[in-house]
């Protein structure tokens, strides 16, 4: 099934509108675009989460599938207080992914905003 998207630009925000049958409308701001263009690892992790949607994945699974270090996955998802992985540019803080707690384990899943 091919989904066509209309793109409307307004200042620094890009609006993605789905056809009326799906009734979804999301805002992807310039901060999200900047974050994904700045880090190839964030983009790769988002692709992995999208590929396995609607399933949730552990950090170790994401690292194995993406072929990156676990520390890099944690930095991209949650953020680490260093120059490369700032918490304000993490996938969780931008609303592109969800964290699901299952006891003392944490699973990660792409959000509807992250799918687009």
Does residue 72 fall inside a structural domain?
A: yes
d(CA 7, CA 17): 7
The pLDDT of residue 35:
81
Domain around 77: 38-115
The pLDDT of residue 26:
55
Does residue 29 fall inside a structural domain?
A: no
Condensed to tens digits (0 to 9), the pLDDT of residues 73-107 reads: 999 998 888 887 888 888 898 888 989 988 889 99
Say if CB 5 and CB 116 are below 8 A apart.
Answer: yes
pTM for the whole structure: 0.71
Specify the DSSP class assigned to residue 116: -
Assign residue 100 the CATH number of its domain.
Answer: 1.10.10.10
Does residue 14 fall inside a structural domain?
A: no
d(CA 91, CA 110): 9
Of residues 11 and 99, the one with the higher pLDDT is: 99
Identify the H or E element spanning 9: strand 6-10
């Amino acid at each position: 099934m091919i989904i066509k998207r209309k793109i409307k630009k307004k200042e620094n925000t890009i609006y993605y509108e789905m056809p009326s049958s799906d009734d979804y409308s999301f805002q992807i701001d310039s901060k999200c675009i900047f974050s994904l263009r700045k880090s190839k690892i964030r983009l790769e992790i988002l692709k992995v989460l999208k590929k396995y949607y609607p399933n949730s994945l552990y950090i170790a699974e994401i690292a194995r599938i993406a072929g990156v270090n676990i520390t890099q996955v944690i930095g991209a998802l949650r953020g680490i207080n260093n120059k490369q992985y700032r918490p304000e540019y993490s996938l969780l803080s931008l609303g592109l992914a969800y964290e699901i707690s299952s006891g003392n384990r944490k699973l990660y899943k792409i959000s509807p905003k992250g799918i687009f």
